[in-house]
Amino acid sequence: MSNLSLSASLSVRPDRSQFFKYESVSLSCEVQGNSAGWRLKRYTVSGDRSDCGRKWGKPQGSSCIVSLIPSYSGVYWCESGSGEHSNAVNITVPAGAVILESPALPVTEGDNVTLRCRYQGIPSNLTADFYKDGSLIRTQTTGEMTIPAVSKSDEGLYKCNNSEGESPESWMTVTGETFIIICVLVISAWSLEVIHMSKII
């Protein structure tokens, strides 16, 4: 996709990239200014490219509520009538009973991030092995692991497994810290007078 718009973003609630079958997710197009003409779109693993409300999803204002099934796995984004688009998000709905709860949206360097290996049955928090880029990084009896103060080196493909199976892989993106610099220009009455006099001369 081209024409990435900085004025539009896709939010995901809950902020996860993997979901069990029949779980619901709220996808929202957050647009600065006039949001008219923006639509939520998707491209699934089965090759379906369509808008929310056509064959899937329930539009609610600028949001789309989706009850997920495995064939809905794919890429979701917001797009304007002129072809501008937001960030894209991957949503995965495995046929199996194990998922990795990891952020669908980029996380910021310095944040603490918790990954959870969930089983659809009971108990849901079994002992789990966590992998990054194919290598085992941790085994947790609680079924979850926290990465304190994430850095760019933590970016990568994550998955988990437990006694009931293995989750799909999901990519976690880490972005740099955002700094806002505010510049204030102060012009005194004296300086304004000098400028005025110089124009007269």
Matching CATH topology for 1-94 and 96-176? yes
Domain 96-176 -> CATH class? mainly beta
pLDDT of residue 32: 84
Pairing of strands 144-147, 165-166: unpaired
Q: Is the pTM of this model over 0.75?
A: yes
What does the pLDDT average to over 113-140?
96
1-94, superfamily in CATH?
Answer: Immunoglobulins (2.60.40.10)
Task: Dig out the tokens for 146 from the structure.
Answer: 């926290």
Tell me how far apart the alpha carbons of residues 66 and 57 are, in angstroms, rounded to a whole number.
4
Task: Dig out the tokens for 80 from the structure.
Answer: 């304007």
Would you list the domain boundaries of the chain? Answer: 1-94, 96-176
Q: Looking at the predicted structure, is the pLDDT value of residue 166 above 70?
A: yes
Tell me how far apart the alpha carbons of residues 192 and 38 are, in angstroms, rounded to a whole number.
46
157 Cβ contact list (under 8 Å, min separation 6): 132, 133, 134, 169, 170, 171, 172
pLDDT of residue 193: 42
Kindly tell me the burial class for residue 97, based on how many C-beta atoms sit within 10 Å of its own C-beta (0-12, 13-18, 19 or more): middle
